[in-house]
Each structure stands twice: as structure tokens, then as C-alpha cells.
A and B are shown apart, each in its own frame.
Chain A
Amino acid sequence: MIVPFLSEALKLSAAFLYGSTGEIVIEKSGHLNLGIPGVMSVGGAVGCVTVYYLLKAKIYSTFLLLFLPLLTTIVAGGLMGLLYSFMTVTLRANQNVTGLALTSLGVGLAGYIMTQKGEAALIVGKTSKIFASLFQIQSENWFVKIFLSHGLLFYLAIIIAIVTQIVLNRTRVGLHLRAVGENPATADSAGINVTAYRYIATIIGSAIAAIGGHFTIMEYMGGNWEYILEGFGWLSVALVIFTVWRPALSILGSVIFGGLYIAAAYINVSFAQTELIKTIPYVITIIVLIITSIVGSKKAQPPASLGMNYFREER
């Protein structure tokens, strides 16, 4: 009972981990990207369709089936990030409004692609085994079942989160990025290219989040398309707050969110009560948000200029 539950929670956690790691990178640059649900949806749809076209062209190479969809997903996510940063950095548009428009665009686009390529989901289902089984170890051992029975993209999520944590806190690039998010005017006068940092961080972050969509469809859903990515996107945004802007904490946080998301299926509750359990991630996020604002600890604050655009000549 507990082993399958933990295994499933861990598996799902990667979806939130991708989303939140991506959003952390973006938010560290001072961008509050509310377009993440749209980015994740587009990522999922583009990856799915790429696999579909590869199969249609009768390409069964494991390597291509794994990496080409990943590449298109990353490109699609990056393009969404580019659009967002063009709007907010170059055109100085309001970040909240741009993000919401991007979510509308992305969710609509993903839905449209998938309704047009409805047969894609059917064929792709079989391919998803490749994603799930490449690094999978079959064993009855509880440790293996919980931690090592996942696919390639699962491990990639954890690697990305750890690398992000190290880059943000231990490198010069990370220091500069945090400076841009905290106080762009100061960063600018210290010779840091604010525009470049904001662009690149948003593009990379969106690409990471898009992989989350791809993971969800191919590995978690077993290749079945379902309209869950928008909800996953918002949960990822919540997770960023929950883990107080730290990717390493996100690894743990995403497992908690994953566990809460599926908990209802494993514990003995009524059909209606499952809804209340699904509320818990949002409620604890609110509580964390309140506590961090009351405590006012410097280490647990959002980047100081989060949501604000920078215009050099406005000082």
C-alpha cells in the first residue's frame, strides 16, 4: 500500500518539479510569469504531436523518439518564453496581463492541436513505454520500486532542479540573475545586462516548464492526452511559493504535492471527500505565503522586484 503510493507520488512529482523549477528561474529574474500553465500545455501537445509524426514516418529509433520530441518541446517552450519576454522586457507590457494572455493562448493552442490530431493520442500511447521503461529497473524491492522504477524524464527533472539550485546560489551567473530580480537598477549600474538576463532566464525557465508538460503526457499519463496541464501549471506556480523560491526544496515539495494530488485514491474516503483532499495543496500554499510575509525572513522572500518591469531611463 505505502510503496505503490510513494512510487506514484514520486512519479507525479516530476511534473510539478519541472514547472516549479522553470518558474523559479523566471521569477528570480523578476518576472512573474503567469503563462506557465499555457507553456506546459503547449509543451505537452507539441511533444505528443512530434512523437505522432515520427511514428507516422515509420521512425522507430529509440534515440530519435526520445530526443526529437524533447527538442521540439524545449523549442516550443522557449518560444513561449521569448514571446513573454519580448512583451514585458522590450515592449514593457504589464507582466500579469501578458502572462494571463499567454495562458489563454497556450491552453487554447494545445487544445486545438490535440483535437485536430485526436488520433495522435491513440498511437502515441504505445510509444510512451519507451519513455517509462528506458531506465526502469524491475524489482520487488521497496527501495527500487519507490526510487528507481521511473523513466528518463523523471531523473532529468531532479538533475535540472539540483543544477538550477547550484547555478543560482553558487555561481557568478546565478548571483547576477538574483541581483537582476532583486534590484535591476543596481544590477544595471554594476554592469550586468538586465535585458539579456531577463530574456535568457525566461526562455530557459519556460523551456524547463514545457518539458514538464511533455513528461506529464508521455510518462505520467502513459501517452494519453488529458486536459490536466493547466491545473498542473497553476499548482507549479503554487509550489514556487511553497518552497520559498528554492529548487532543491522543490524536489521535496513536489513529492508532497504529488502525494496530496493522488492521496484520495489510496486512503479510505468518500467520493466527495477526495475533493477536500485536493484542496490541501492550495491551502498550505496560502499558509506558507502568509507565514513568509509575517515572518519577513530575508531568505524566504520573493525577489524584491518580482512583477515589475525595468526601464533604465525611469530612475
Chain B
Amino acid sequence: MTEQKKTREPLFHLVKRINVPAWQAWAIRGGAIVGGFLLIGILIYAFLGIFPTDAYRYMFEGAFGSQYRVMVLLRDLAILLLFALAVTPAFKMKFWNIGAEGQVLMGAYCCMVCLYYLGGKINNVVLIFIALACAILGGAIWAVIPALFKAKWNTNETLFTLMMNYVSVRIIEYTIKVWVPGGTGVLPTMHYGNLPTIAGENFWFSIIVALVLTAVMYTYLRFSKHGYEITVVGESENTARYIGINVKKVIIRTLILSGIICGVTGFLLVSGINHSLTSESAGGRGFTAILVSWLAKFNPVGMIFTSLLVVFLSAGTDEIMTKGGITTSFFSQVVTGLMFLLIIGCEFFINYKIVFRHHAEAPKTPIGTGSTTAETALTASEDASADAAKEENV
């Protein structure tokens, strides 16, 4: 008996799953989202005493209740999607750029500087193009600085980009205080350099740009040589070097691209939507976008849906709060955080299989043997794609 105990086998062990079919992965994720909504229903009942069925109805009303609300939802979706598109190429390369917040703010800031100093002095159309160019330059510079150091000296990009966020916030606060000394400390609305409105609404422009960029980014990542290089660098830098990819060049090039999209987003925030600027203009979306992009497995089309989930949750919970007589946006932050943790956690069940002791003897066959092409594996899961990419390259 004691002899047997010495070679004790654990109750269960984990086996990595390879080539999980896409439908199965999405079924697990869908289950996590449904579970998240159930949990939110319970929480709202516990804290506010609103019955879950009512809560879900309020959520829908809050998000889609009127034409105006749908428009606001679409606008928020477009902006969040733009943030997510900006961080995606870098993330796919495993460059942890958590500085989209600061990059967008710098884009918005450079745009604002143009509007402030040139507004009314030159032709409005020319002004818009100059502002756009400056915004792109601002975003790109803010993104490329950490990339240069990462490429040259392998400086930790996560912490670098995080610090850059706060530097940009302070620069904006400083400038606003110089422009508006004393008083409210709020920049007045700009009358020059605003994007044209479509059908009387000022945010159609952002929605269209977001859709176009989604399509462009999808094509770029999926079908271009650059996109392929990004994937390889992300999966294995050594493999990339071995097949002759200039890793440093790819890192810098990709971050410039990220920065350009951030700049465009900042430009749209100022010229297209707010016509003003505060240090809160990005509103934490640089961080949320990371989750949005990651949940969609860096697939730009998938990000439309993950962004929708986030803006729906936030609009929906805000509505519930209003109905419950509470006017803070904190609860929506809690709900979003919980939902994310659940979805992040469910990835475990996609990537790993729990094998119990008495099954250990049985031959292990991957659950999904139906689809073995690298194509489906790439969309199936990040880790599966790692293996697939290695197979492609070697």
C-alpha cells in the first residue's frame, strides 16, 4: 500500500488541446457571455432589487431604446473599434502596447493645437487636412518611441507605453491651463476645422471611417506580406529571424501603423465628435480596447462584435442604474470587468483539456479532429495558431 502511494498519480492533469474547431471555441465563449449576463442579473438583483428579467429589458432599452440611443451606441462602438484596431497589429506581434490611450490623446492634442492656432486663419478644408496630418504625426511619434527602444535594447514596452500615457495626460492638462488660465479650465468648443455633418449628425464620419479601417486592417493582417510577418514575429521571433524577417523593422513599422490609427482616432474625437479636448477624452478606452481586441482573437471583424458587447454592457448598465436611482458609471465598470474576467477565464477550457486519473491510460485524441487546416486553427485560438504557424514555417 505504501509502495503504491509513493508513485501517486494526481487526480487529474491538463492536456493542451490542439486544433479546437472554431464552432466549439465560440460555443465556449458564448457560454461564458451568457454566464456573464446571468451573473450580472443576479448582482443587480442583489444590489438594487431589480428583477433580472426587468434588468435585461432595461439594458436593451438603454442600448437600443430610441433612435438617438442607437446612434450614440453606434458612435461609441465606432470609437472603441478604432482604438481596438489601433492596438491589434502590435498585439498580434506580442508587443504589449498598453499606451493606445496616450497615443490617441497625443493625436487629439496635435489636432487641437492646429485648430487652436490656425482656426479661422486659413481655409477650413485645408485646416482639416493639416489637423489630420498633425494628428497622425502625433500618434505615430508617441507609438514609435517605445518601439525604437524595444527594437534596439529590448526595453519593456508594457511599462514604457503605460508611462507615456501619463506624460500625454499631463501635457494636455498643461496646455489647457495655459490656453484657459483660471475660470472653468475647460476648452471652449472649436468652431473651425470641424468635419462635415452627414444627415445632421456629426458622428457618421467616425462610423464610416471605423468600418473602412476594419476592412483594411482585416485585409492587411490576413492577406498582405506585412500581416504574415507580424504573425510570424508574434509566434516566434527566432523563427522570424531564421526565415529572414527583419524583426526590428517589423516592430517599428507595425507600431508606426498603430500610431497612425491612434492619430486618426484622436482626430475624429476632436474634429468629428467633441470639437474640444480634455485629458479624459480617451476615457480609458485605450485599456478597454486591449480586452476588445484580445477577446476577438485579434480578428478585426470579430472586434465589431466584442466592441458591441462592451458598449452594450456600458449603456445597458447605465440605464439600469438610472432606473435604480443611481447616477454613477461605476457599476458599468464593475460589470465590464466581471464579464471580461469570465471570458478571459473561459479560454482555459478552449486551450486545455482536463484528463482525470482513470482516463489517463486511455489514448488521448484531440477532441476536434474535423478541421486540421492551419486556416481554421488560426481563428480557433491563439495557442492553436502558434502551433499552426510553426508548422507552416518549419
Decide: A293 near B344, CB < 8 A? Known: A237-B162, A282-B166, A282-B167.
no
Q: Which residue of A lies closest to B161 (CB)?
A: A286
**A contact residues around B162 at 8 Å (CB):** 34, 234, 237-238
**B contact residues around A293 at 8 Å (CB):** 149, 153-156
Please report the total number of B residues contacting A with Cβ < 8 Å.
Answer: 52
Q: Which residue of B lies closest to A38 (CB)?
A: B337
* Contact (Cβ within 8 A) B163 A286: yes
* Contact (Cβ within 8 A) A97 B291: yes
Q: Which of A97, A110, A272, A313 contacts B344, CB < 8 Å?
A: A97
Decide: A98 near B155, CB < 8 A? Known: A238-B163, A279-B170, A285-B163.
no
**A contact residues around B331 at 8 Å (CB):** 108, 112
Q: Which residue of A lies closest to B336 (CB)?
A: A104
Interface residues of A in 277-295 (CB under 8 A from B): 278-279, 282-283, 285-286, 289-290, 293-294
* Contact (Cβ within 8 A) A111 B333: yes
Interface residue? A32 (CB, 8 A): yes
Q: Which of A105, A276, A290 contacts B338, CB < 8 Å?
A: A105
* Contact (Cβ within 8 A) B347 A93: yes
Interface range for A? 35 or more
**B contact residues around A126 at 8 Å (CB):** none
* Contact (Cβ within 8 A) A272 B334: no
**A contact residues around B19 at 8 Å (CB):** none
Q: Which residue of A lies closest to B331 (CB)?
A: A112
Interface residue? B351 (CB, 8 A): yes
**A contact residues around B154 at 8 Å (CB):** 293
Interface residue? B218 (CB, 8 A): no
A171 to chain B, nearest CB (A): 27
**A contact residues around B394 at 8 Å (CB):** none
Interface residues of B in 63-97 (CB under 8 A from A): 96
**B contact residues around A63 at 8 Å (CB):** none
Decide: A96 near B98, CB < 8 A? Known: A108-B332, A115-B328, A286-B160.
yes
**A contact residues around B174 at 8 Å (CB):** 272-273, 275-276
**A contact residues around B129 at 8 Å (CB):** none
**B contact residues around A109 at 8 Å (CB):** 330, 334, 337
Interface residue? B1 (CB, 8 A): no
Interface residue? B341 (CB, 8 A): yes
Interface residues of A in 219-236 (CB under 8 A from B): 234
Interface residue? B323 (CB, 8 A): no
Interface residue? A302 (CB, 8 A): yes
A interface residues with partner B (beta carbon < 8 Å): 32, 34, 38, 83, 87, 90-94, 96-98, 100-112, 115-116, 234, 237-238, 241, 271-273, 275-276, 278-279, 282-283, 285-286, 289-290, 293-294, 302, 307, 311, 313-314
Known A97-B340, A103-B287, A104-B337; 8 more pairs at CB < 8 Å: A87-B344, A92-B352, A101-B341, A109-B337, A234-B162, A279-B167, A286-B167, A311-B16
B interface residues with partner A (beta carbon < 8 Å): 13-16, 96, 98, 149, 153-156, 158-160, 162-164, 166-167, 170-171, 173-174, 177-178, 181-182, 284, 287-288, 290-291, 294, 326, 328, 330-338, 340-341, 344-345, 347-348, 351-352
Closest 4 CB pairs of A and B: A108-B333, A105-B337, A111-B330, A272-B177
